[in-house]
Amino acid sequence: MAETLLSVNNVSRRFVKPLGWAEKLANTLGSKHEEVVVRALDDVSLHMARGDVLGVVGESGCGKSTLGRIAAGLLSPSSGTVTFSPAKNEPAVAGNNQRLARQMIFQDPSASLNPRMRVAEQVGEAAVVHGFVSASRMLEFVADLLLRVGLDATAMARYPHQFSGGQRARIGIARALAVNPELLVCDESVAALDVSIQAQVLNVFSELRESLGLTYMFISHDLGVVQHLSTRVAVMYLGRVVEIGPATSIFASPKHPYTQALLAAMPKIRSGHQQFVAIHGEVASPVNPPSGCHFHPRCPRAEARCRTEAPAPKISGDVIVACHLF
């Protein structure tokens, strides 16, 4: 059995919007304004083995990015625990800094690259600061990283605005690799790229996984991309994981009604006509989610207890599904 790299146990995350001065003043005059609490994650548990590619899917606002930031160590959970267990012989751990062994790659590489710094400094700076390479060897080190992601050494002297979107995405990957991570959290990392460029960057991810033994959490709206890249898939709805299991099982035989609806909504071309199957209803607000199973207002198979009782995760074959039907 593969060694567990990341364990997320009963994690919840709340974001609180405090009252402004106007609301506070109104409350002194008898109004009853309350702080707005967004329930981004609600009792999420999952485990990632070393070498996994976990695809995380779901509609906008379901908590995917919040889960990714917690997995990467950028956010702390409001409750629950996150255990990250990198290899003991890794330089990042030898330096007593597990944070470096988890890196996040964001959707827009332009926003995460400094427009005033050359690529060499942006990719190599962290490696020098944290002792992975000496300053005298930084250029050689950066050239090797750029080669790994399909760029040549001439890129080192240029600025971010001088590259295409696909090239900037590769630079972002190289920068993440500079501190020798074990886990990469990729949040919509190819969403802004053209389809042909997406394929090239996805191939880079696959090659790096094979050559460096990386583990990925891959967050995406694109189910086709997730199906192509992932070994396992977690399906989220309104802050909860409703189904998780091997990618082949999730896509071939989805069990949760939401997973079924999500896959049915994938565009399909049959008899020369493109068909779309929309999911019934609107996603509820994470400020005031439905009681019981959060999906019950949109579920065609909802039972009476779905409205009052949150389903516990159950093993069904090789997947775990949170649904009263199982």
- Tell me the per-residue pLDDT of 162-209, one tens digit each, with 9 for 90 and over: 998 888 888 999 999 999 999 999 998 877 777 777 888 888 889 889
Selection from 223, 215, 186 nearest residue 201 by Cα: 186
Return the bridge partners of 6, or none.
Answer: 48, 84
Selection from 71, 89, 67, 85 nearest residue 3 by Cα: 85
| Number of helical (H) and strand (E) elements in the chain, helices listed first | 11, 13
In this model, does residue 96 exceed pLDDT 60? Answer: no
pLDDT of 93 reads 43
In this model, does residue 219 exceed pLDDT 60? Answer: yes
In this model, does residue 260 exceed pLDDT 50? Answer: yes
Taking the C-alpha atoms of residue 299 and residue 180, their distance in angstroms, rounded to an integer, is 44
Taking the C-alpha atoms of residue 277 and residue 262, their distance in angstroms, rounded to an integer, is 9
* DSSP H or E run through 200: helix 195-212
Taking the C-alpha atoms of residue 53 and residue 216, their distance in angstroms, rounded to an integer, is 5
In this model, does residue 274 exceed pLDDT 80? Answer: no
Rg of the chain (C-alpha set):
22
Taking the C-alpha atoms of residue 159 and residue 111, their distance in angstroms, rounded to an integer, is 13
**pLDDT by residue (tens digit) across 102-152?**
999 987 777 888 999 999 999 999 999 988 999 999 999 999 999 999 899
**pLDDT by residue (tens digit) across 59-78?**
988 999 999 999 999 999 99
**How many other β-carbons are positioned within 10 Å of the β-carbon of residue 153?**
14
